[in-house]
Structure 1
């Protein structure tokens, strides 16, 4: 399974997957409920920067994450600036981006296997209600890793097009991106079948 895990020895890498997931979830929720003000935009950006600095992932990786979200930024800001004041549009967009890049720290610092184990343990209490923790944990792990993986695939398609000198445009981008996305989905389906899930 393709992931964005970055090997490291920082405290966030060493933290158990369960508490780390819960802690990052709290940070994401805190950023998400900030009001739509200039101060909130600054706080959201500062939280993202601090999280990447103290986790030893670093500013270079934060920059990569933000660049990979550029279309989300454009669409989110573009739609909001039409209907909302500039302050609200900037604050909302900053909060969305900050929440996504902070959430990405989970997959950057945790192996997928560790995530699966943590989700299975956390969902074990629902086994008495007929819930299969293994299946739910796998679905959650796939969901967590899919968005950043698709963002990386999109960057790869763009870079390949630039290297070939291809004309850049929405139509020229969408078809190759769909092909690599479907290939990823096919590989993921094979991996799930190998685990006896599909």
Structure 2
């Protein structure tokens, strides 16, 4: 199954999957709950930059370069969010909300970048195991959460790759010519994901 995981030996890579999940989700939740003010945009932006700067993804500015790639991968989400927010809410809430959404996405991507899917799945399943007494299937819930966390940034990267391939062939930057190739890539990823789940005995 395709993931964003990148091998490394930084402190975030070495951190156990369970505590890492709680840490990143706590930061994402804190960013998401910021009010819709100008200062919130600055705080959310600073949180994203700081998160990648200290993540240990590589030497020098490797973390910041990775942040740039993640933001570029979700640029259409940013544009659509910004336009809709500007129309319905105005400049200040629009800027704050776009910054919060972008920061939440790129910070969540740190989990996929530094954690193998199997380790993440096992950590979530262990954390949910006590809830089995209430009749919940911890294995299926863990799969659902893991797939959700992993798939969104992967599709963002695939969208960027489709755009790059179109530009390399001299194609115009037309959304109509982008949709079909991206759908094909997305469906291929869905097939790979289905095969991976079947291999784990999920039907």
Asked if these proteins are the same fold (TM beyond 0.5), I'd say yes
Say whether the 8 Å CA contact 2:72–2:160 is kept in structure 1: no
Larger displacement relative to structure 2 (94-103 or 80-89) = 80-89
The equivalent of 1:138 in structure 2 is: 143
Distance 2:164 2:151 in 1: 20
Quote the RMSD (CA, aligned, Å): 1.1
The equivalent of 1:50 in structure 2 is: 50
Q: CA deviation at 1:131?
A: 2.2
State the 4+ residue runs in structure 1 displaced beyond 6 angstroms: none
Q: CA deviation at 1:130?
A: 2.5
CA deviation vs aligned residue, 1:120-169 (integer Å, no higher than 9, x gap): 10011012223222222112111110101111111111111111122321
Q: Secondary structure of 2:139's partner?
A: helix
Say whether the 8 Å CA contact 2:2–2:192 is kept in structure 1: no
The equivalent of 1:21 in structure 2 is: 21
Q: Structure 2 regions of 5+ residues with no counterpart?
A: 58-62
Matched, 1:95 2:100: yes
Q: CA deviation at 1:37?
A: 1.3
Q: CA deviation at 1:85?
A: 2.5
Aligned length: 198
Q: Secondary structure of 1:93's partner?
A: helix
Matched, 1:125 2:130: yes
The equivalent of 1:3 in structure 2 is: 3
Q: Secondary structure of 1:197's partner?
A: coil
Matched, 1:84 2:92: no
The equivalent of 2:60 in structure 1 is: none
Could you tell me the TM-score, scaled by structure 2's length?
A: 0.94
Q: CA deviation at 1:7?
A: 1.3
Distance 1:20 1:127 in 2: 23
